[in-house]
Amino acid sequence: MSPLFIAGPCVIESAEVLNEVAAELVRLQKTYQLDVYFKASFDKANRTSITSYRGPGLDKGLQMLADVKAKFGLRLLTDIHESYQAAPVAEVVDVLQIPAFLCRQTDLLVAAAKTGKAVNIKKAQFLSGLDMQFPVEKARESGAKEVWLTERGNSFGYNNLVVDFRNIPDMLKWTSRVVMDCTHSVQRPGAAGGKTGGNREFVPAMALAAKAFGANGFFFETHPDPDHALSDGPNMLALKDLERVVCSLM
């Protein structure tokens, strides 16, 4: 199975950021014949602090994502947090993503599955790869024709994550597409005074290690200026570095 790439800014900040990232993804897609999806969130419903930026919201966010699709021809992936969001989001995007903390929420999985779109379920920080059999079953029995699983690390004490790469071959028992979230896996949850910290310098190695364990999809949150991003900056890959990391995986 050829590698799949998911990339984009954590949250929709502005049309300018979306367009800059999308233009680079199109360039990489054409240069390397990549199988690529553009990702950005219209709402980050699980930010650490109530004062943190969440995004433009459902209606405006979907319009901005639709503009990216129309202008650049990229396929889209975004996450949903509530069951009612599934149907309107499915009218715009190609893949509905279930956030890690919500991967056991039956109603959310069922609503996503019923749209007929591919469903990407992120593995919770408190579950093993083998545990993901059951979210997959919920989605498939609710009508999902295509289900992906994504590894993003496990909680390791307070404010830390660790990746057990054995989860990748374990999850390949339940689905043929297992994605490594190379940027969220280097987060330091809640470790930056009301914000999530991270160690983006480990992203390239996370990607290569995941490939060695059989991952056939790679997820990168990327931004032109991660140090000034409105969400997840410390763990995001600088846009200028994305090509080098992608090439290492090809």
Class assignment of domain 4-249?
alpha beta
Q: pLDDT tens digits for 139-197?
A: 999 999 999 999 999 999 888 899 999 999 999 999 999 999 999 888 777 755 666 77
- Sign of CA pseudo-dihedral 202, 204, 210, 215: positive
Q: pLDDT tens digits for 206-244?
A: 999 999 999 999 999 999 998 888 887 788 899 999 999
Residue 6: phi and psi, rounded to 5, are -120, 125
Domain ranges of the chain: 4-249
Q: What span, in angstroms and rounded, lies between the C-alpha atoms of 36 and 117?
A: 16
Residues contacting residue 169 through CB under 8 Å, at least 6 positions apart:
129, 213, 214
Q: What span, in angstroms and rounded, lies between the C-alpha atoms of 67 and 71?
A: 6
Q: What's the pLDDT score for residue 229?
A: 86
Hey, is 50 helix, strand or coil?
coil
Q: What's the pLDDT score for residue 191?
A: 54
